[in-house]
Amino acid sequence: MKKTTKAALAVTLLATMSAFGAAAPAAPGEKETLLKLYAQGGVVMHFLLLCSIAMVWLIIDIWMRTNRPKMTPPEDVATAQDRFRAGDYVGAYQAMKAAVSPFAEVVRAGLGSVGHGKDATEEALYSTVDKVNSTLQTRINYLSVIGVCAPMIGLLGTVAGMKGAFGSLGSDGLSSGVGELAGHIGEVLVATATGLLVAIPAFGAFYFLRNKLQGAIHNLQGESERLFRNAPYEYLQNTDVGQEETYAALPNWIDAPEG
C-alpha cells in the first residue's frame, strides 16, 4: 500500500511537470517554474493535486488487482484441482480459506453450499463473483468521479481568478495596459488546464480498466464453474464441508428431541 502511494505521488509530479513544461512557456526575461504555475492556479490547485494523486493511486491499485494472475492465481487453481481430484473437499475448503485471492473466495463459497445441491452451489458461486465484481467496479467508478469533478474544480478556480482580474480592470481601467490584463487571464486559466490534464487520463483509465475487469471476472467465473462441473452432489448431500460454526437452532419454545 505504501509503495503504491509513493509511486502514485511520483508519477503525478512527473506528469504535471512535463505537461506544464510543454504547455506553458516562460515570459520573455522571466524564468517560469512549476511552483510559480502552481501558485498562479490559486487554492483550487491543492484540490486538483489531491485528485491527481488519487487518480494515479487508483490506476495502479486497480491495475494490479485486476490482473488475471492476481484474480485467479495459478497456484490456487492447481491446489483446488488437486484436492477435487482426490475427493478431499474438506481439504480444498481449508486450502481456499488460507488463500486470499478472489478465486479462493469464490471456491470457498461454493464448497460451503455444496451440501445443499447443485443449484445452491451455483448460486453461491455467482453471488460471490458478483460481490468481487461490485467491489472492484466501485473502485473504478471513483476514476469517473475524478474525471467529472476535476474540470469543474479547475473552472471554479478560473472563474474566481477572472473575477479578480476584471475587478482590477474595473478599478484601474485600461491604464495598467492590456498586456498586463492578458497576463492575469493567462494565469487564471492554469486551473482549467490542470483540471483537464487530470480529467482526460482519468476517463481513459476508467474505460480501459472497466473492460480489463470484465475480462478478469469472466476468467474467474469460468475457472470456478469448471471446478464444480462434475461435482458428485448426490454423495455430498447434507454434508458440511466447511465445518464452520453455525448459530441457527430450534426456537427456544420447542423442546429439543431427546437423545
In a domain, 50, yes or no: yes
Q: CA angle, corner 234, sides to 232 and 238, nearest 5?
A: 110
In a domain, 27, yes or no: no
In a domain, 253, yes or no: no
Specify the pLDDT at position 178: 56
Q: Are 77 and 225 in contact (CB under 8 A)?
A: no
In a domain, 241, yes or no: no
Q: CA angle, corner 190, sides to 188 and 191, nearest 5?
A: 85
Specify the pLDDT at position 151: 93
Residue 171: partners with Cβ closer than 8 Å, 6 or more residues away: none
Closest CA to 227 of 89, 32, 44: 89
Q: What is the mean pLDDT of each run of 10 residues along the chain (259 residues)?
A: 51 47 48 73 88 96 95 96 94 94 96 92 96 96 96 87 68 55 69 92 96 96 93 88 75 69
In a domain, 26, yes or no: no
Specify the pLDDT at position 21: 45
Structural domain span for residue 102: 34-236
Specify the pLDDT at position 170: 59
In a domain, 258, yes or no: no
In a domain, 168, yes or no: yes
In the chain, the number of structural domains is 1
Residue 118: partners with Cβ closer than 8 Å, 6 or more residues away: 231, 233
Main-chain phi, psi angles of 258, to 5 degrees: -75, 155
SS (H, E, C) the chain: CHHHHHHHHHHHHHHHHHHHHHHCCCCCCCCCCHHHHHHHCCCHHHHHHHHHHHHHHHHHHHHHHCCHHHHCCHHHHHHHHHHHHCCCHHHHHHHHHHCCCHHHHHHHHHHHHHHHCHHHHHHHHHHHHHHHHHHHHHHHHHHHHHHHHHHHHHHHHHHHHHHHHHHHHHHHCCCCCHHHHHHHHHHHHHHHHHHHHHHHHHHHHHHHHHHHHHHHHHHHHHHHHHHHCCCCHHHHCCCCCCCCCCCCCCCCCCCCCCC
In a domain, 243, yes or no: no
Specify the pLDDT at position 41: 75
